[in-house]
């Protein structure tokens, strides 16, 4: 017969509660949903510094993401939405001497911490793609599956991207990228197009198109906020 332990149940409940409110708990994510307008948007220009991202001829992903991110920031600010950037120049956040996956993770962790420390309510990480398998181009919004809000924002942004006449219409999709798995606030990873496809390539390097793309992303964020 088991000894009667009057404190066993309360203790297990206390431990469960401690887990649920700990910084590692998935429940904490639900508590950090953007509940108020205005939002605090952190825009992450993907890659930079030691990591140029994908390369296509003389183009580097890190340069294009920075150019587009600056336009997204300007477009959001025009709508009176607070928008800051993880980087405004060609830098990374890995520590000297780090290499490969360790450097990449440290870089991404730093970007996520910036958002967390500043109390950002939405994180937008911008990228451009290269894929020899892609038969059609277009911008594509990826979101974290765990947060229903992230899916909603992704759908608003993807819908606004469809309003660009040149845009190949792709659907917003859930994905398991490191950023999308680890970031505790709603996060979108936006692949702005395919550099290896000539139509997308010529558009992505054009400043007027970068502006239009950024405007559509900002309109998507605004439409989401107004739907709240
Ligand atoms: Zn990238």
Kindly report, residue by residue over 211-226, the tens digit of the pLDDT.
999 999 999 999 999 9
Residue 37 in this model has a pLDDT that exceeds 50 = yes
**Residue 10, in any domain of the structure:** no
**Residue 104 falls inside a structural domain:** yes
- Tell me how far the alpha carbon of residue 5 lies from the centroid of ligand 1, in angstroms: 55
In a domain, 12, yes or no: no
Contact 192, 213 (CB under 8 A): yes
Q: How far is the CA of 135 from the centre of ligand 1 (A)?
A: 19
Give φ, ψ of 184 to 5 degrees.
-80, -5
**What is the whole-number distance in angstroms between the Cα of residue 8 and the centre of ligand 1?**
50
Residue 196 has what DSSP assignment? T
User: How many structural domains are present in the chain?
Assistant: 1
Are 44 and 85 spatial neighbours (Cβ–Cβ below 8 Å)?
Answer: yes
- Local confidence band at 38 (pLDDT 50, 70, 90 cut-offs): confident
* 180: containing domain: 25-226
Taking the centre of ligand 1 as the mean of its atom positions, its distance from the CA of residue 123, in whole angstroms, is 15
The CATH number of the domain holding residue 203 is 3.40.630.40
86 is a domain residue:
yes
In a domain? residue 56? yes
SS3 115: helix
Going from the Cα of 54 to the center of ligand 1, the distance in angstroms, rounded, reads 7
Distance from Cα 138 to the centre of ligand 1, integer Å? 15
164: in domain: yes
Provide the pLDDT confidence category of residue 19 given band limits of 50, 70 and 90: very low
Task: Report the distance separating Cα 206 and Cα 166, nearest Å.
Answer: 13
How far is the centre of ligand 1, averaged over its atoms, from the C-alpha of 64 (Å)? Answer: 10
The predicted-structure confidence for 136-194, as pLDDT tens digits, reads as follows 999 999 999 999 999 999 999 999 999 999 999 999 999 999 999 999 999 999 999 99
């Amino acid at each position: 017969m088991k000894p009667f332990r009057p404190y066993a149940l309360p203790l297990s409940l206390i431990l469960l509660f401690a887990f649920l409110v700990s910084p590692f708990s998935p429940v904490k994510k639900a508590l950090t949903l953007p509940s108020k307008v205005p939002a605090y948007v952190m825009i992450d220009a993907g890659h930079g510094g030691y990591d140029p991202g994908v390369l296509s001829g003389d183009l580097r992903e890190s340069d294009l993401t920075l150019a587009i991110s600056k336009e997204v920031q300007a477009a959001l600010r025009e709508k009176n939405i607070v928008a800051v950037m993880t980087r405004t120049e060609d830098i990374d956040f890995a520590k000297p001497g780090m290499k490969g996956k360790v450097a990449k993770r440290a870089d991404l962790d730093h970007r996520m911490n910036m958002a967390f420390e500043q109390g950002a309510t939405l994180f937008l990480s911008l990228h451009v793609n290269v894929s020899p398998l892609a038969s059609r181009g277009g911008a594509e919004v990826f979101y974290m599956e765990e947060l229903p809000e992230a899916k909603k924002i992704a759908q608003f942004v993807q819908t606004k991207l469809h309003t660009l006449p040149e845009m190949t219409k792709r659907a917003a999709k859930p994905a398991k990228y490191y950023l999308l798995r680890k970031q505790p606030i709603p996060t979108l990873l936006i692949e702005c197009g395919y550099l290896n496809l000539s139509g997308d390539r010529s558009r992505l390097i054009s400043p007027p198109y970068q502006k239009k793309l950024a405007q559509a992303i900002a309109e998507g964020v605004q439409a989401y906020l107004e739907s709240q």
